[in-house]
Amino acid sequence: MDDQILLEGFRAERADRDPRARAAAWSSLEERIEDASLRVENPTRVPRRGVLAALGGAATAAVVAAVLLISSGSTAEPATGQVLGETADAAASGADAPDVLAGAGQYYFVKTKKVELTGWYPGSYSVPGSPTTRKGGLSALIPTESEYWLAPSGGGRFRETMGTPEFLSSAEQTRWEQEGSPLPAGFEPRYDRAVEEEIAENAGPEEQRLEAERHVLEMRRGVRDYETPARPIEGEPMLSDLSSAPTIAAALRQAVEQGGLSGLASGTSRTGGPLDTEATIGELADLLTRPNASPALRAAAFDALSEIPGVELDRDATDLLGREGMAVRWKRPIGMESEYIFDPTTSRSLGERTVLADPTQDPVLWSGYEAGFITRDIAFLASAVVDSTR
């Protein structure tokens, strides 16, 4: 680790935790900025679920007023940096996330509510976050409520309950009903058994052994609830070990940029090298949603975000449940954007969403969809350390 990074991070963290030092630092900074007036853009309306030009139908719309404060300097725009810095102070206090880590025999309990655009082919696979493009496919907004009991070493209990699909056109809903109202893979037992048997036939010995150890508690239409052994299984929610992650902002940012923290949203395992600015923002935001992130680590993540140039802040965001907060926004590949929504007074994570920003990046996939369409919207409802999966 670069000694200069450590020294600068330590100095910055000490200043952040002292209100008088923070005030002096901001005063000094403001005196050195020639034009200290803030550029505030007119609030714009972003559709909750967009308007489907080709599909029509009764897609519900809501609006988010966005005020984007973008920096052109070496750090985030002062007002944005101040908000995130103050949120870091709230996170460091641990008021909303006590510094309690799960021990032996304990679990991290997480409850969420989600609405996600899902494409599926009845009796076959599903495509979360994307519509279907081949004949016979169905696409709808799928609401789910999820409860996870995650063991630190892997495995645990996973319960998901699906609500009624919301189709984006009356024609597609009618076709779905005529086909017997089939649900996506994982929620439709009449199809899933055949799919599971096909997967099992092609699985290796280790995969077959782990699958045999899975204990189904409930499996019926619209509900899946099962336990897995206390070891990692590919495709299931996992918690990376964050115990050795730096709690100094500059050091944490450097570790994320260089791929020093495994198991987060993007990861260098897929990019093959250091992360760019947008991917770094995504990793830090993902870190803030982890139930095993300590108050000190969450504070460092907020501080790191406050120092990244070009960070966009929506000061009037609302989550899936309508809870008010602020949102950090960043760009993603293929015309998408992501948002992490939080309560700046407590640092509490409220939700996250993925938005279609530019449909022209993939005109075949997104034919008929407009910019602003929300493909994935999650609200965080509860998080705790518990002694049982029951």
What is the distance between the alpha carbons of residues 164 and 25, in angstroms, rounded to a whole number? 53
> Residue 270 — very low, low, confident or very high, per pLDDT cuts 50/70/90?
very low
pLDDT digits 0-9 by tens, 285-335:
999 999 999 999 999 999 999 999 878 999 999 999 999 999 999 999 899
pLDDT of residue 77: 62
Partners of 63 in beta bridges: 47
Confidence of residue 237 (pLDDT cuts 50, 70, 90): low
What does the pLDDT read at residue 4?
Answer: 38
Question: Which residues contact residue 47 at a Cβ distance below 8 angstroms, ignoring those fewer than 6 apart?
Answer: 61, 62, 63, 370, 372, 373
Whole-structure pTM value = 0.75
As a whole number, mean pLDDT of residues 235-259 equals 84
* pLDDT value at residue 132: 94
pLDDT digits (tens, 9 = 90+) for 142-199: 999 999 999 987 889 999 999 999 999 999 999 999 999 999 988 998 876 665 666 6
